[in-house]
Structure 1
């Protein structure tokens, strides 16, 4: 009986001490940036690896450019870069263009069940 209580306490402590899984990742771009930096690729890869069986959404905002058409093109190129990374890991990703989101940001998030 004592051993069972010790095992339950250890499991409880381990569960409380472990970090919760990240459900959202926000990345920031410079206005002219269309590809991912090595650090951004690493963060996205880690996020995809920690959420492989969840429905994931990538919301990409337009770039902070004076010409709205150029801003849209920058957003599309960023979406393509993230899509290529998720396809290389065989993880489906729902891509959204979010014009009302803060400019030059990318938000990856796990959808609620």
Structure 2
């Protein structure tokens, strides 16, 4: 992909990753600043990664945070199914958020993480 197309693609992706319009340019810049080869292979490698067989080995308390797309119940059900073998987990959904929950619901995000870590 040439640089112009890559930037257009980054802009399209970024606008769907946060509800905070002022953060979209930050996300675009992060994508553009990343090493292109690492970005592409990292992304495709992540899409192919399936660690479900190792999940029964997770003994630590686990906090799973998600955004409600397409809706909170679907995401919660998906996470419960994906992480069914993690025994000590907590699944929370950040309403009014997209992928970058720490941008969209900053106070909520830090409260959930800090509360979880304090236990």
TM-score (norm 1): 0.37
Q: Considering only CA atoms, is the larger Rg found in Structure 1 or Structure 2? A: 1
- The structure whose residues are more often helix, as a share, is 2
